[in-house]
A and B are shown apart, each in its own frame.
Chain A
Amino acid sequence: MPDTYEGSLSEAAAATFEELAYSFAERTAVQDAPAADDGVSTVSFSGPVRGRIVVAMGGGALPTLAANMLGQEDAPPPAVQRDALGEVANVICGNVLPRVAGVTAVFSLGAPHAERSWAAACARGGTPAAHVAFTLEGGRADIALFLEAGGEDWL
């Protein structure tokens, strides 16, 4: 098990991109204001600690990712792409929590929520406990883990 939030988030995200969307994900440098023109989705969680996962995609990565998930050549309509991004956020969230909180911890996950921008999604959360970025076919993805006050101490 990785001993940092960043390592846990990176492992969960890379596995999700590769196994859910058949997309090879390579770590890249994070940016304060990453490209998120394809879409942003958040999934909140509650349990022993509360927080949320933010996933942003930009540069054209999401249409390719969504097409891969559906096993089709052409990019699906925007609404389907948003659904795909929400599922990616949901699966990353479900996979990172056991890595950071242990496999016996029980969490409830909220429904994926589309956000206007990376900045809007991150504005109410302060500094993320972890932020990782990947290059994907056609663009990039940024993923952040936010924990509510006291969460980092608890974990």
Chain B
Amino acid sequence: MAINVLVVDDSTVMRTMLIRTLKLSGLPMTSVHQASNGAEALTVLRAQAIDLALIDINMPVMTGEELIEHIRADASLAGVALMVVSTEGSVTRVAALERKGVAFIHKPFSPEQIRSAVLRLVGVPDA
């Protein structure tokens, strides 16, 4: 099963790195969409059938944590798997995200880390 992915980060460089890393990881993907903040991400999520959203925390306009609250409050987006990709180093905050069913990847990351975390989250069979 190939998945549709949304990458949400205010840094163009980080979005490019994440997309490149996803491609290097060999994950089966149908499409990759981008958004530079949470508000843009909500627009994409409501217009496209996204399976997985990779979300930064610190962004202008709407932060990653605010975006996650909006997604969790919208029943039509209940099927979107969420993964925070952040420099966040506090186990307190990571645990709070995980209680909401959100996976977490720490920056910097490797293709292997991204691949294994995505496979665990969306249940795509490993090739």
- Mark A residues whose CB is within 8 Å of B: 15-16, 19-20, 66, 69-71, 80, 83-84, 86-87, 90-91, 93-95, 97-98, 103-111
Contacts and interface: CB of A to CB of B under 8 A. Distances in A.
A109 B12 CA distance: 18
A103 B20 contact: no
Interface of B: 10-14, 16-17, 20, 58, 60, 86-93, 107-110
Contacts of B13: 66, 69-70, 80, 83-84, 87
Closest 7 CB pairs between A and B? A94-B87, A98-B89, A19-B108, A20-B108, A106-B90, A84-B13, A83-B13
A94 B11 contact: no
A83 B90 contact: no
Contact of B92 (A87, A106, A108): A106
A24 B73 CA distance: 44
B10 A109 contact: no
A9 to B, nearest CB: 14
A136 B69 CA distance: 41
Given A19-B108, A71-B20, A86 B11 contact: yes
Contacts of B109: 19
Nearest to B9: A87
Contacts of B12: 80, 83
Contacts of A97: 89
Nearest to B17: A69
B22 to A, nearest CB: 12
B91 to A, nearest CB: 5
B60 A94 contact: no
B89 A95 contact: yes
Contacts of B16: 70
B110 A19 contact: yes
A93 B89 CA distance: 10
B107 A20 contact: yes
Nearest to B59: A111
Nearest to A12: B89
B108 A15 contact: yes
A83 B90 CA distance: 24
B28 to A, nearest CB: 21
A39 to B, nearest CB: 13
A41 to B, nearest CB: 12
Given A69-B13, A69-B17, A111-B58, A91 B89 contact: no
A103 B17 contact: no
Nearest to B14: A87
Contact of B89 (A20, A71, A84, A94): A94
